[in-house]
Amino acid sequence: MRRLVAESSLGIDDLVAPLFVRESIDAPVPIASLPGVSQHTVASLVLEAKRLASLGIGALVLFGVPTCKDPVGSGASDRDGVVQIALRQLRDDLGDEMVLIADLCLDEYTDHGHCGVLNDRGEVDNDATLVRYGEVAVAQAEAGAHLVAPSGMMDGQVAAIRAALDTSGHDDVGILAYSAKYASALYGPFRDAVDVTIAGGGDRKGYQQDPRNRREALEEVRLDIAEGADLVMVKPALAYLDVIAAVRAAVDVPVAAYNVSGEYAMVVAAAERGWIDRQAVALEHLGAIKRAGADVILTYFAAEVAEVLGG
């Protein structure tokens, strides 16, 4: 009876698994602050993708960890960069069995840890960064990405990427825009996962959103849709359920939400101490994100929740 009258339902089809691929390793490297998550080799990444597909998960989002970094994040658009190599192998082995989403940003590849190119004053140069984003998008599309996911929160990023993709003949590659990405304190474990440290102890408040604002998020979402975004995302998820609900009410495109690393790590840490039931809380949290209006949920719980939902 409870299932019959449930007002929302979490399904395997809602889940996207974030995965990390690291250059110059010969075995997966566990991420201490994300228990159960590893930096993969290309070979182990493919095996994990196949396992996820066998559980019914239809999409993954890929993050790269390069060996060498430089001021402009050259590895992000290098044909032989780690993500491009991994995408080609995934497409060869999986074809269209899974939707391959490539995170599109520069922070993993820059030696200063910012999401864009810096000017002479050490500030992110929005327009110069857009040029780099276009180059990265084309490289990812050519390697086999079905969707590119710009996460840098630069003004005009969706329009620049759409133009670059269309001009290069990749008009069938979609854009999942990180449209409402907040300057959150919940990203710590993720930065461990991609080996990112912001130079000089800086932050990203100059281009990520103020956690106190909701109307601003709606405006950012509208701008991205006007520029050609196919899906829009709110990040983080749990601390911004009101934003997810507001975005869902305001737009007709699919809405994604990222259940971020800090949200995952807190549940895992508490469960390891016996304070909460890990599985029950994971399902409750993801159910809340779904109830708020998310059509797509990026979560490190994807595999274990798919096992539960799949019976």
Cβ atoms of 297 and 8 closer than 8 Å? no
**Residue 70 β-bridge partners:** 110
Cβ atoms of 297 and 16 closer than 8 Å? yes
Q: How far is CA 119 from CA 81, 104, 114, 304, in A?
A: 24, 20, 12, 44
Domain ranges in the chain are 12-309
What span, in angstroms and rounded, lies between the C-alpha atoms of 62 and 193?
Answer: 12
Instruction: Provide the residue-wise pLDDT of the chain in tens; the chain has 311 residues.
Output: 998 999 999 999 999 999 999 999 999 999 999 999 999 999 999 999 999 999 999 999 999 999 999 999 999 999 999 999 999 999 999 999 999 999 999 988 998 888 888 999 888 899 999 999 999 999 999 999 999 999 888 899 999 999 999 999 999 999 999 999 999 999 889 888 887 777 655 566 777 889 999 999 999 999 999 999 999 999 999 999 999 999 999 999 999 999 999 999 999 999 999 999 999 999 999 999 999 999 999 999 999 999 999 97
pLDDT of residue 233: 97
Cβ atoms of 308 and 56 closer than 8 Å? no
pLDDT of residue 193: 86
Tokens at 145, concatenated: 């990405």
What span, in angstroms and rounded, lies between the C-alpha atoms of 10 and 288?
Answer: 9
118 membership: H or E segment, kind and range: none
pLDDT of residue 192: 84
pLDDT of residue 55: 97
The 10 Å Cβ neighbour count of residue 8 is 11
Q: Which amino acid is at 291?
A: R
pLDDT of residue 204: 67
What span, in angstroms and rounded, lies between the C-alpha atoms of 178 and 221?
Answer: 9
What span, in angstroms and rounded, lies between the C-alpha atoms of 264 and 118?
Answer: 32
* 12-309 belongs to CATH 3.40.50.2300: no
For Cα atoms 13, 19, 25, give the angle at the middle one, nearest 5 degrees.
155
Rounded to two decimals, the pTM is 0.95
Give SS3 for 230.
Answer: coil
What span, in angstroms and rounded, lies between the C-alpha atoms of 311 and 296?
Answer: 21
pLDDT of residue 199: 64
- Residues annotated catalytic, as ranges: 181, 235
Distance separating the N- and C-terminal Cα atoms of the chain: 19
Cβ atoms of 184 and 240 closer than 8 Å? no
Residue 210 per-residue DSSP state: P
Q: At CB < 8 A and 24+ separation, what contacts does 264-268 make?
A: 264/34, 264/189, 264/299, 264/300, 264/301, 265/33, 265/34, 265/35, 265/188, 265/189, 268/34, 268/35, 268/36
Q: Which amino acid is at 233?
A: M
- Strand 296-299 and strand 255-259: pairing? parallel
Give SS3 for 116.
Answer: coil
Closest CA to 19 of 40, 43, 42, 50: 40
